[in-house]
């Protein structure tokens, strides 16, 4: 009877041991999964913190760019307000108005030269044509003043608009016909048929067209292009504020 009891208990002991080993194995596997998930969480957290830091830097740069543009705009507005005051007076003498017109034209040329390289040659040629006509006495100072005011309004409109265009641009010493997106007068992005994607960046007071090395910046810019083509102009767009990191 005692022997029979031992024989009955022994299989239960073996089964319990087997269950214990299986449970231990499951616990070990679960621990591994927890460690993997924990590592993934840490990695994603570090990535998110890094992205937040990068966005904070970009936000600060953007705020700085906007402040600089506002300062330039204020300086320019002070000068053109003098012109506006003069041209509203129909009795102003042409010889008295001409020096102010000349100064305003020079200020406008400086403004265009320092602004984004968007159709810059055309904008400068328009001002120069006006300057030459005044020099040759083909038009009065009052007429030039009115035309000049219209050009100033065009510049203010360009500073407000985000628009899609085509323009020939120099990239690495070669000219390329490219699609460009102008974001006010803060940023200008380009995309060529050869797959070059980048933005205009100021280097030593000269605008240079640089391609992106960062895949995320390139993808975000292409997405921005496609959204504008589809007339989607509202919503959240993540676009780079500079070429480098």
pLDDT at 90: 47
Residue 214 pLDDT more than 50? yes
Residue 4 pLDDT more than 60? no
Q: How would you class 241 by CB atoms within 10 Å of its CB: exposed for 0-12, middle for 13-18, buried for 19 or more? A: buried
pLDDT at 100: 84
pLDDT at 118: 93
Ranked by mean pLDDT, which of 69-73, 92-96, 109-113 comes out on top?
A: 109-113
Quick: pLDDT tens for 11-60: 555 555 565 566 666 667 767 777 777 666 666 666 656 655 655 665 56
d(CA 205, CA 113): 10
d(CA 181, CA 227): 11
201-206: average pLDDT: 88
Tokens of 127: 């001002």
198-224: average pLDDT: 92
Q: Could you give the C-alpha distances from 109 to 112, 124, 232, in angstroms and in order?
A: 5, 7, 33
Q: Match 């030593």 to its residue by tokens.
A: 204
Q: Considering the chain, what is the average pLDDT of its residues?
A: 78
Q: Percent of the chain having pLDDT more than 70?
A: 62
Residue 110 pLDDT more than 80? yes
């Amino acid at each position: 009877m005692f022997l029979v009891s031992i024989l009955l208990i022994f299989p239960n002991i073996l089964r319990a041991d087997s269950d214990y080993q299986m449970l231990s194995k499951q616990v070990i596997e679960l621990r591994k999964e927890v460690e993997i998930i924990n590592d993934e969480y840490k990695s994603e957290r570090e990535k998110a913190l890094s992205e937040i830091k990068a966005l904070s830097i970009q936000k600060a740069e953007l705020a700085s760019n906007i402040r600089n543009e506002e300062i330039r705009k204020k300086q320019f507005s002070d000068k053109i307000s003098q012109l506006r005051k003069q041209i509203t007076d129909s009795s102003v003498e042409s010889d008295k108005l001409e020096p102010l017109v000349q100064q305003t034209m020079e200020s406008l040329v400086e403004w265009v030269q320092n602004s984004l390289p968007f159709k810059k040659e055309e904008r400068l040629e328009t001002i120069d044509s006006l300057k030459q006509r005044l020099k040759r006495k083909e038009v009065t100072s009052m007429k030039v003043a009115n035309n000049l005011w219209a050009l100033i309004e065009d510049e203010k409109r360009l500073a407000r608009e985000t628009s899609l265009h085509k323009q020939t641009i120099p990239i690495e010493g070669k000219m390329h016909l490219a699609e460009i997106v102008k974001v006010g007068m803060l940023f200008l992005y380009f995309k060529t048929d050869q797959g070059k994607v980048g933005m205009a960046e100021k280097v030593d007071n000269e605008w240079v067209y640089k391609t992106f090395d960062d895949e995320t910046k390139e993808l975000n810019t292409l997405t921005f292009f496609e959204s504008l083509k589809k007339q989607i102009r509202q919503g959240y767009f993540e676009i780079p504020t500079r070429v480098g990191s």
